[in-house]
């Protein structure tokens, strides 16, 4: 039974990712008639994916900070009339 529920959730998630046309209802306008219940296996997978996304976000933030520092250094170098040659 939980597999059927999980598949229904997947289908709902797939549908919510599609672009909406002018005649389609927004997600907020739709009501869910039953609470979302995930199997233990599905919950663990969601937690693993969330953790993975959090780690990716940390790496991206580190890269963003390094990029910002490089931009500042380049700007300072350019203002000082530096040459790249």
Domain residue limits, the chain? 38-85
Each residue's pLDDT tens digit, 21-38: 455 555 556 666 767 788
Each residue's pLDDT tens digit, 4-20: 444 444 444 444 334 44
Decide if pLDDT at 2 tops 70.
no
Distance, CA of 57 to CA of 52 (rounded, Å)? 9
Decide if pLDDT at 57 tops 90.
yes
Distance, CA of 79 to CA of 72 (rounded, Å)? 11
Residues 6+ apart with CB under 8 A from 64: none
Residue 13 and residue 46 in contact, taking contact as beta carbons nearer than 8 Å = no
With H, G, I as helix, E, B as strand and everything else as coil, classify residue 36.
coil
Residues 6+ apart with CB under 8 A from 36: 9
């Amino acid at each position: 039974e939980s597999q059927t529920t999980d598949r229904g959730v997947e289908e709902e998630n797939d549908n919510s990712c599609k672009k909406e046309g002018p005649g389609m209802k927004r997600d907020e306008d739709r009501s869910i008639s039953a609470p979302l219940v995930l199997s233990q296996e599905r919950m663990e997978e969601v937690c693993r994916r969330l953790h993975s996304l959090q780690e990716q976000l940390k790496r991206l933030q580190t890269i963003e900070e390094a990029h910002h520092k490089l931009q500042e250094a380049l700007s300072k170098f350019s203002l000082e009339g530096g040459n790249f040659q």
